[in-house]
Structure 1
């Protein structure tokens, strides 16, 4: 990939997009472009078409999405399915119409069936029912994967989909109403520590198993896909290692230094029992994660402490 290639990163101010931007810049890519949501509403089809027609990027990396945890997905199902479909469809179709040859679409491990065999292989897509608590987001992302696959099949363009496991890291969303499990726990334990090590109540039983990938490793996977023409249309991106939510909580609690009690509210949903990714396809091509979980959580907490006064609540 030419270091002067014009690369448009959709969602460049989000956790994933900003990590991709930093990683590309550090590798010497000098022609990166992005627009904030106030500058370009990706839900507006005409606006997206006009933007790409003017900017004429060589590559699009789609890291833009409406995201959230179980609570947000459950409370705002229409926004999660419709806005995500609008964002990705506008980008994919406009890229196709303007002749862009390379497109990297980012999805989520939630596209796979709730009870699929573990670890999750790419070919288990559409083989069973989705997890009800995030099916709206999952269905939207599945349509994006299939749209990119269709373009790849029909027109031979290098459109590839990367499905990350649970991501976390610097610039994460720490709003307790909309965040994912790891940053939500981090904020709860931090606040409890500041409040004389008060007890922390967490959702569910603590028994589900989850896999977590530091966002800089995800960015490295995107750069790998950028610099190589991957032979298939869909790839899992993760660590290939998981742990229970209880173990995650205890790890975060230790790093933050919270000494209080953890209370598990079993009346709240657990979500999918297990979501471990089979990452053998990416490993075989030469990509592998570099940051282990404890180191990643420490990096994230260090960033959180530096920015805690600027972290704002996200309103739905």
Structure 2
């Protein structure tokens, strides 16, 4: 999730665990620890893009990391932060803040290596967009309210827990809607004679009403949109050639292996002049798939080769680009409520 959400979630969890004991310090340390796993991005300037792709949401987002770091940081905080909290109580604050950071990241589409260092399997529930104000704002309102109340008052704890409760309900609602959406997509695959080797659904930006579906079948990715407010369950699919043959000569080389692993197979390759480009389709197009024409993909990699172009030596990521003018926001909102 985005940094604001992780800060807010960490603060709310910190307040829930130790707010009564140490007051506003609990929310402060919860917020600080809430972004700690994402400090893995600080390694990016010192490693190649190939390495950075595996580092982010790697070991610092693993269950192993939670178990290993909680007692150590719990002891440090107990030792150096003034207050009446015990080492065990600080341990639980660290544990729950880092664990909830990992869990909410798993709910997004990026992929999180929760089983490191034992496996690099990238887990993703694809149930919430990486930025969703309807998840974040209740948390923010609850924890801000709590900070202005006496730490021993029931109202303080209640305000914070109401924020956590509303956000958690919204998150669970996303899982329920996703189950329905998956059934609708599977119905359409059968009706339209699409036999997916794999498929995924993920919400479009800032909501859990409008969903993207991606199905991989015979070197083609089928992409469709479905809103829970659509009048019917008929989905119109766009077909994107994957062009796997373009990567076939290099698919046993680490940079290409890494890209296929990261995209979980939802990629398309393009030959543009002398350049070989890989698009990660999970992150959509600049038009959010809302227009009928072509639009640039927002997550792209340009492969780099050695002198005789026999080996891929690395890749360079394109900067994501969303065309989010007022017209596009209006189009997104209308499609969310079922207007095609």
Q: TM-score range by the shorter chain?
A: under 0.3
Return the TM-score normalized by structure 2: 0.24
Which structure has the bigger radius of gyration? 2
TM-score (norm 1): 0.25
Higher relative contact order by CA 8 Å / sep ≥ 6: 1 or 2? 1
Greater fraction helix: 2
